[in-house]
């Protein structure tokens, strides 16, 4: 393990958690997006993370792919909505706001943990440089 691998590993964690937060924020922003019943609902996005060189102490993590929920959504009876069909239904995405808030908290905590690693490593390297000056 090289001396500055800590920054690369923690940086990969920061990037992955940022992508996770981006996906969650998109999902929350579109929780009330209305579509016609003949259209696909907004699709919830989920980020799948994958380790890089697992067990080697190098590599970190990466966002392997984004997965999308089924486009069926949920039908809601709103006969006065301008997008309502002849039976009075519109389509909303099938997104659970409580679940998205939990996902957001987990992603934030992961981001904060990786940022703390970067800060501690910076402090440790700066302390080591100060020892060399003495």
Residue 1: predicted pLDDT: 56
CB atoms within 10 A of CB 39: 13
Residue 131: predicted pLDDT: 85
Average pLDDT of each block of 10 consecutive residues along the chain (134 residues)? 79 94 97 96 95 78 92 94 96 96 97 94 88 73
Six-digit token string for 124: 């440790």
The per-residue b/e assignment along 92-111, b for 16 or more CB within 10 angstroms, e otherwise, is bbbbeeeebeebbeebeebb
Q: Could you give the number of structural domains in the chain? A: 1
How many degrees, rounded to 5, is the angle at CA 13 between CA 12 and CA 18? 100
Residue 8: predicted pLDDT: 87
Q: Which residue, 78, 98, 74, 96, is CA-closest to 87? A: 78
Paired strand residues for 44: none
Domain that holds residue 37: 5-133
């Amino acid at each position: 393990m090289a001396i500055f691998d800590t920054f690369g590993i923690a940086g990969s964690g920061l990037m992955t958690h940022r992508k996770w937060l981006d996906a969650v924020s998109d999902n929350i922003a579109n929780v009330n997006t209305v579509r016609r019943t003949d259209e696909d609902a907004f699709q919830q996005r989920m980020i799948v993370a994958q380790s890089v060189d697992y067990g080697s102490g190098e590599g970190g993590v990466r966002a392997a792919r984004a997965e999308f929920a089924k486009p069926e959504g949920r039908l809601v009876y709103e006969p006065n909505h301008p997008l309502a069909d002849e039976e009075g239904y519109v389509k909303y995405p099938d997104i659970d706001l409580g679940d998205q808030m939990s996902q957001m908290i987990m992603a934030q905590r992961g981001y904060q943990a990786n940022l703390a690693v970067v800060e501690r490593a910076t402090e440790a390297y700066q302390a080591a440089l100060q020892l060399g000056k003495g």
